[in-house]
Amino acid sequence: MLSPYRRPRFSRAVRRYHPVGFNGGSRLPVDIHVENDEFIITAPVAGLKPEDLKVEIHDDILTLSGEVMSESNGDGKYLLREIHYGEFSRSFRLPTSVEADGAEAKIENGILTVRLPKIEEARPKKIEVKAK
For 72, other C-beta atoms within 10 Å of its C-beta total 8
Averaged pLDDT, 7-15: 46
Instruction: Select the more confidently predicted residue: 9 or 102.
Output: 102
Between residues 122 and 10, the one the model is more confident about = 122
CA 115 – CA 110 distance, rounded (Å): 16
Quick one: pLDDT band at residue 16, thresholds 50, 70, 90?
A: very low
Distance CA 118, CA 95 (A): 10
Please state whether the predicted TM-score (pTM) of the whole model is above 0.95.
Answer: no
Element (H, E) at 12: helix 12-16
Tens digit of each residue's pLDDT (9 = 90 or more) over 91-109: 989 988 899 899 999 999 9
**Contacts of residue 4, Cβ cutoff 8 Å, sequence gap at least 6:** none
Task: Considering only residues 121 and 93, tell me which one the structure prediction assigns the higher pLDDT.
Answer: 93
Q: Report the pLDDT averaged over residues 42-60.
A: 91
Mean pLDDT of 42-48: 91
Domains contained in the chain, CATH given: 17-119 (2.60.40.790)
- d(CA 61, CA 44) in angstroms, rounded, equals 20
- Report the pLDDT value the prediction gives residue 22, as an integer from 0 to 100: 41
